[in-house]
Structure 1
Amino acid sequence: MKRQVLATLSTAALLATAAGCSSGGPSSAPTGVDAKNVTGTVTVWLMNDAQKSWPELVQQVNDEFAQKYPKVQIKLSYHEWQNKVSELDTAIAAGQAPDVVELGNTETLKYIVNGSLMSLQRGSFDHSDNWIKGLSDTCTYNQTLYCVPYYAGARIGLYNSKMFQDATGSADLPQNEDDLLTALDKVQAKYKGSAGYSSLYLPGPYWYAAMSYVTAYGGSIAKFDSAGTWHGTLHDAKSQQGLQHFVDLVKKYNKSGDYKVNEADQAKVLGHEKAGLIYANGWEQSVATAPITGTPALQDSLRIAAMPGPNGKPLPSFIGGSDLAVTAKSQNSEAAADWVRMFTSSKSEQVLADKDTLPNNLVQLAPLKDKPATSAAANAVQDAWFTPLAPGWGAIEKQNVLVDMLNAVFAGKSVEEATKEADARIDQLINNPG
């Protein structure tokens, strides 16, 4: 896969940048110290997903840790995605970084390059030979591991089967894009009397979706060249073709009246029956069927399926997910790494799998490929795309380069002009560590 090649090349690109600072601290190799005599604290930062979705797993691991390290106190806090990076940067600068931190897989490279994460022994973690590559690659630099895959995610089609049944005579989502567009036209006509109804609700700034269409046409955000640098490739013909396809879909089917609204509340739009289909994470189904954010009565109507893409193939999905890392200046690094081992063990990953969350490895992922609730996402993982594994990617995402490009297009700028401007900004940022 192209994504795998880029991952290898990006390692070479980072060698000069991170030489001398990549380890950031001692290895987490067990020292043979009796765990029952270890004292101190282990501070853990998890995202609030764990608190909301699998609190019993957190309790299970903390209980297991307490049995092994009875004199070590766990200080656990939960964080919001929109604030975590700034909070972590502030803590690191102040010398108050947590011992263990959850990182989104697009966030890891920045902290690896700037020396903020400790190296880990890959073989000491369960299923390390079978980790999902899209997660494992984001934890690995110069053949050294700096974090441990936690769970994966892939976007799929989440749709109201009753609406499709009523409009087309079939409750199944078509798996060919031409057939899907025909069905969407019928659904749109059926519900045209509902103000703001979108048979396909595809938000304009939804760059994960836009780049899925770019990938489907053989394009990319950026590439690593023979001169040893990354450069933006959104203005390339194939990338422009995919982006134009996305723009055309948004303009035809998004009837919300505002192309600047992002995808944050798309599950609510579906849940309030103002959409027939969204391109979503699997967990968004629960948002669409919850009180207030959605409609509980839709529980039996909402279904998950692979999202059809161009050229008769499923739409390539972005592989999302989380990793767990031990920070470089942890004062209790061995115990911290042990907590990560417990939290990502086969036993722990099975808790996630049982909740229809994609585990970090292919062995425990396999049964989910045949399970209706998870098959679309589980089967998408191995052919998924990922953001460039380049030192400046974090800055590109933070500065909303792709979002600004999409907003410019929907404000009237041509795809050709907007992609050239985006590539110019990418070229300024992508080779520079944050």
Structure 2
Amino acid sequence: MRRKLIAAVGVAALVTGAAACGSGDSAASKNPKERDETLTVWLMVDAQSTWPELVKDVNAQFKKKYPKVTVKVQYQQWADKAKKLDTALGGDKFPDVVELGNTETMTYILGGALAEIDPKKYDNSDTWIQGLKDTCAFEGKQYCVPYYAGARVAVYNAEMFRKATGSDTLPQSEDALLKAADKVRDAYGAKDKRFSSLYLPGRYWYAAMSYVAAYGGRIAEYDEGSEEWKATLSTPEAQQGIAHFIDLVKRYNKGDQTKDEQDHANVMANEKAALLYGNGWEAGSVIDGKANGNPKLKGKIRTAGMPGPNGKALPSFIGGSDLAVVSKSQVQDLGEEWISLFTSEKSQEVLASKDILPNNTRQLEPLKRKASTAPIANAVPDAWFTPIAPGWTAIEKEEVLEVMLLDILKGSSVADATKKADRKINELINQGS
């Protein structure tokens, strides 16, 4: 598919010709022990909280080769990272290496903010998970390195299901699952009117779009003739999936239906929910006392594949992060080498040991047979992804999908709300931020 290169107004302006040249040959040709530059790395806070030893080890490896180079790792929050990065790229204090969510990369690629990389310099690049690799590619060139993958699964309280249904195994069909959820609701909801046997927040667009994918719908499709993306949420298939999601929210969510999924692990930790649809690692968050979890639930929280409609598993969003070198950086070669160490086979083993999905299918295979990771690892091959379009970041920033879902929960018809969303998506999707 050939995508039209549309100038990303704003991000494109952040990169000037002179600054985009990166590190010169003179710096790269120096003796490594004589290099005395500073390398600034922006990582998301996940690395600080969940695999800090990996960051420490990679920095130690890097320091051994470049003893005079200072590596500054600065941890960022997802909520304001994009805004901070745009501001930084517009000035003279910007990171050399940046972690990007895989839905963010295309805007920065089209805007010229990311330097081209050579996949051959990175371990297992021939088996990078396609859903991550695609988010880093444009017109045959690669602009970032897959870091780790994620997929959503059922996270459930096995004890609650066992007491209510007689089985602590999650049913494999949606019909059977909903019958079990009804029993759990009857068993626990009578005492607590805010208890949700299935907790699906109304603004949880990742879940809603999984149901859209289950019915064969899409958020948008690329038109080869016009070389433009066109929204498709108002198609019958997409509308059917959205209606299915809304029905589940109304039927089972006894909490605040207008919330998003950011605190749903805490809802389960507080024993206000028996089942949620989330990232596999959120099972750990439910019981982690340091993360507002409930250690008393240890051994009771499990993951499983989430059953979907039509007798099939619910398609999962292929989430994850990528790492890129900023094109304005004067130490691009150092950035590339740091990323190479941080995404090496050895480093990916550290992530896999923490039940985080690695960036390649070769190291993913063993996780498909490991009890704690099998549900999430097996969800990767059939996962869906957001449109790899220049305006997707703008669509997320304006919360177009969340607004659509709230409109329906407040009384708008699915038909009216999806048509409204399509108009807004078409306004934004082919334009850079």
Question: TM-score with structure 1 length normalisation?
Answer: 0.94
In the TM superposition, residue 16 of structure 1 has moved relative to its aligned partner by: 5.4
- Find 1:91's aligned residue among 69, 88, 92: 88
Q: Partner letter of residue 15 of structure 1?
A: L
Tell me the distance in 2 between the aligned counterparts of 1:179 and 1:343.
43
Aligned position for 1:281 = 279
1:352 aligns with 2:342: no
Tell me the distance in 1 between the aligned counterparts of 2:96 and 2:6.
27
Secondary structure in 2 matching 1:300: coil
Matches within 5 A, 1:86-235: 86-192=83-189, 193-225=191-223, 226-235=225-234
Aligned position for 1:6 = none
Q: Partner letter of residue 35 of structure 1?
A: P
Aligned position for 1:367 = 366
Map Cα deviations across residues 14-39 of structure 1 (whole Å, 9 max, x no partner).
33547xx7995469999554322222
Structure 1 residue ranges without an equivalent (≥5): 1-8
2:6·2:390 contact (CA, 8 Å) conserved in 1? no
Tell me the distance in 1 between the aligned counterparts of 2:115 and 2:104.
15
Structure 2 residue ranges without an equivalent (≥5): none
1:14·1:390 contact (CA, 8 Å) conserved in 2? no
Aligned position for 1:272 = 270
1:393 aligns with 2:392: yes
Q: Partner letter of residue 285 of structure 1?
A: A
1:14·1:113 contact (CA, 8 Å) conserved in 2? no
Q: Partner letter of residue 391 of structure 1?
A: P
Tell me the distance in 2 between the aligned counterparts of 1:129 and 1:31.
26
Aligned position for 2:38 = 41
Map Cα deviations across residues 109-133 of structure 1 (whole Å, 9 max, x no partner).
1110111111111111100000001
Map Cα deviations across residues 263-300 of structure 1 (whole Å, 9 max, x no partner).
11100111111111000111211221123723211111
Q: Partner letter of residue 287 of structure 1?
A: S
Tell me the distance in 2 between the aligned counterparts of 1:262 and 1:397.
13
**Percent of aligned positions with the same letter in both sequences?**
53
Question: TM-score with structure 2 length normalisation?
Answer: 0.94
2:103·2:386 contact (CA, 8 Å) conserved in 1? yes
Tell me the distance in 1 between the aligned counterparts of 2:22 and 2:338.
17
Tell me the distance in 2 between the aligned counterparts of 1:16 and 1:204.
34
Moved more, 363-372 or 282-291: 282-291
Aligned position for 2:5 = 15
Relative to structure 1, the CA distance from residue 296 to residue 232 in structure 2 (aligned partners, 3 Å threshold; closer, same or farther) is same
Tell me the distance in 2 between the aligned counterparts of 1:128 and 1:287.
31
- Find 1:82's aligned residue among 66, 79, 83: 79
Aligned position for 1:4 = none
* Number of residue equivalences: 421
RMSD of the alignment, in Å? Answer: 1.7
Q: Partner letter of residue 273 of structure 2?
A: A
Aligned position for 2:249 = 250
Tell me the distance in 2 between the aligned counterparts of 1:35 and 1:156.
45
1:15·1:142 contact (CA, 8 Å) conserved in 2? no
Structure 1 residue runs of 4+, over 6 Å off?
27-30
Map Cα deviations across residues 123-179 of structure 1 (whole Å, 9 max, x no partner).
111000000011111011111111100001000000000111011110000010010
